Amino acid sequence: MTGGGDLTGGYQDTGPAPGDVDLDRVWLGVAAQVWRRQPGPAERAAARLLRSPGLARALVTTPSLLLGWVIATVVILLAGVGFTLGTGTPWVALLAPAVAAAGIAYAYGPGIDPAWELSQSMAVSDRMVLLIRALVVFGLNAALGLAASAASGAAAAVTFGWLVPMTAVCALALAAATVTRSPNVGVAAGSAGWVIAVLAGQAAEGRFTAAITDSFFVLPYLAFAACCGAVVLFATRIPRGTS
Amino acid sequence: MNVELTELTRKFGHTRAVAGVTLEAGPGVFGLLGPNGAGKTSLLRMMATVLPPTSGTLRLLGRDPGGYGPRREIRRRLGYLPQNLGYYPGFTVVDFVEYFALLKDMPPGQVPRAVATAIEQVGLGDKARVKLRTLSGGMLRRVGIAQAIVNEPELLLLDEPTAGLDPEQRVAFRALLREFGERATVIVSTHLAGDVAAACSEVTLMDAGRIVFHGTPAELIARGEGHGVGDAPLERGYSAVLAAARS
């Protein structure tokens, strides 16, 4: 304790405040500490990993990474596990790509960001925010889907077979959401694309799981995902100035 | 010069929103006046690096925003308040201002104090922890101003900043503008001649994508002497210049 006054008898008489104390400045210091938001562990980890607190903050505010959305994803996949165990049809593998596509479509864009124009004028580029959010949403959905698939006791071919189609469906959802500036269109495009792929697999080989287990489709899926990725890059390009 | 525009043009389809604007601006408060559709917002959006020009040259803070590195540096030192600023309803005032401070790449250690300063400057200290969904339109506008000034910008672009502010708040805001204008370039797009007369050292009047007047508020007032319509001298100057440009 500094000051040397008698602290045992109640208040100290410190006399009048010095005339040169800038109370506004003092208050700003107090307010800065009182109002300071404490980032959660996920945000701190992301900030260290990405080496950008701004990017980390943008990541943890992703709509499809919020707790409610993640819980909904888990519930859907758990339902898939139940149906898979009950019917023998790999519902997790059929559901996971569509669920992931919805998450990707709601990761970023003018349709879900009320302050989109302002975000575009920021030093942390909106393209980088989109990339990071999409990667993390994809990774989380892949991890949840794999866990659900493993829990449903599906064969290894089914457990991992949907990851490549999921990549293509997510890329389609992202491209549609980005180009049309509407996450709902992205969800619809991704879901419709996946349904068409599954039905086409059934028509060709007579079983629903052909779209997941047939290795013949891997290259077309990857090529399609690459095309959709190119569309996203084109749609989010920052046109160069003419100066 | 913080802003150097040369023959800057922006087309939307066949419409030329901004048609060959040439302008230079150093520190000070610049008013951008003009009727609806004059091209003010498009011009501000180009200066905010949100909208690329169709042709012409644009240099901001001595840099060409066409390249990634210079554009990022410009954006670090830029404050922008769009005409229609959306808000995240679940954010508090502090959350919102802090979010954009971080996206402006401010050093994290400086952010809490900068956020507190900006919020106090717009008079929202007592609402700092309040969710945006509960605030009035005027308060939300002040939140938007707070995020624009949080990084002590060298170039501050404000599109209709006083919309929704009551007279007392507008007076305080003009004082804030003058204070910023001493060390930064502040460009304010507004419909309110009173804001220009009270806060701006220079005024630019746009019509149909072109600059039809550039000078001091006093010079604009002089253009309206004996001409024009309007209740205030500046409004008469405004209408006289517009009438002359259109004739």
pLDDT tens for A41-69 read: 999 999 999 999 999 999 999 999 999 99
Half-sphere exposure of B225 (CA within 13 A, CB side): 6
Q: Does residue A2 register a pLDDT over 90?
A: no
Q: Does residue A159 register a pLDDT over 80?
A: no
pTM summary value: 0.86
Residue with tokens 């717009």: B122
The closest CB to that of A28, out of B45, B108, B120, belongs to B120
User: Which of chain B's residues have a Cβ under 8 Å away from the Cβ of A122?
Assistant: 75, 100, 103-104
Portion of chain B with pLDDT greater than 70, in percent = 100
> Looking at per-residue confidence, does B193 or A67 come out higher?
A67
The closest CB to that of A32, out of B59, B80, B112, belongs to B112
Residue A13: band (very low, low, confident or very high) from pLDDT cuts 50, 70, 90: low
Q: Are A89 and A82 in contact (CB under 8 A)?
A: no
Q: Are B48 and B218 in contact (CB under 8 A)?
A: no
Provide the pLDDT for residue A8: 40
* One-letter amino acid for residue A215 of the chain: S
Task: Identify the three-state secondary structure at position A110.
Answer: coil
Domain locations along chain A: 53-235
User: Which of chain B's residues have a Cβ under 8 Å away from the Cβ of A28?
Assistant: 113, 116-117, 120
Q: How far apart are CA B195 and CA B212, in angstroms?
A: 19
Residue B232: band (very low, low, confident or very high) from pLDDT cuts 50, 70, 90: confident
Q: Does residue A238 register a pLDDT over 70?
A: no
* One-letter amino acid for residue A137 of the chain: V
- State the complex-level ipTM: 0.88
Contact B82 A118 (CB under 8 A): yes
Contact A243 B117 (CB under 8 A): no
Residue B198: band (very low, low, confident or very high) from pLDDT cuts 50, 70, 90: confident
How many other C-beta atoms lie within 10 A of the C-beta of residue A195? 14
B102, B113, B117, B133: best mutation site toward chain A, by most A Cβ within 10 Å? B102
Task: Identify the three-state secondary structure at position B58.
Answer: strand
Supply φ then ψ for residue B186, to 5 degrees: -115, 120
| Tokens, residue B177 | 């503008």
Task: Identify the three-state secondary structure at position B187.
Answer: strand
Q: Are B60 and B153 in contact (CB under 8 A)?
A: no
Nearest chain A Cα distance for residue B230, angstroms: 34
Nearest alpha carbon to residue B57 among B83, B18, B86, B87 = B18
Q: What is the pLDDT of residues B134-186, one digit of tens each?
A: 999 889 999 999 999 999 999 999 999 988 888 888 888 888 889 999 999 99
Rg, C-alpha atoms of chain A: 26
Q: What is the mean pLDDT of residues B55-76?
A: 93
Q: How far apart are CA A68 and CA B178, in angstroms?
A: 46
Nearest alpha carbon to residue B98 among A24, A106, A56 = A56
Residue B245: band (very low, low, confident or very high) from pLDDT cuts 50, 70, 90: confident
Q: How far apart are CA A73 and CA B112, in angstroms?
A: 35
* One-letter amino acid for residue B134 of the chain: T
Provide the pLDDT for residue A9: 41
Q: Does residue A160 register a pLDDT over 90?
A: no
User: Which of chain A's residues have a Cβ under 8 Å away from the Cβ of B126?
Assistant: none
A122, A124, A132: best mutation site toward chain B, by most B Cβ within 10 Å? A122
Q: What is the pLDDT of residues B90-105, one digit of tens each?
A: 899 999 999 999 999 9
Q: Strand order of the sheet with strand B185-189?
A: B78-81, B155-159, B185-189, B28-33, B202-207, B210-215
B209: alpha, beta or left? (left if phi > 0; alpha if psi -120 to 50):
left
Q: Are B176 and B120 in contact (CB under 8 A)?
A: no
* Number of CB pairs, chain A paired with chain B, less than 8 A apart: 118
> Looking at per-residue confidence, does B229 or A116 come out higher?
A116
Residue with tokens 């060709």: A204
Rg, C-alpha atoms of chain B: 18
Give the single-character DSSP code of A240. Answer: P
Mean pLDDT of chain A: 85
Residue A241: band (very low, low, confident or very high) from pLDDT cuts 50, 70, 90: very low
Nearest chain B Cα distance for residue A31, angstroms: 6
Nearest chain A Cα distance for residue B96, angstroms: 10
Contact A117 B82 (CB under 8 A): yes
Residue A242: band (very low, low, confident or very high) from pLDDT cuts 50, 70, 90: very low
Q: How far apart are CA A171 and CA A187, in angstroms?
A: 11
Q: Are B92 and A35 in contact (CB under 8 A)?
A: no
Q: How far apart are CA B106 and CA B98, in angstroms?
A: 10
Nearest chain A Cα distance for residue B116, angstroms: 5
Contact A124 B102 (CB under 8 A): yes
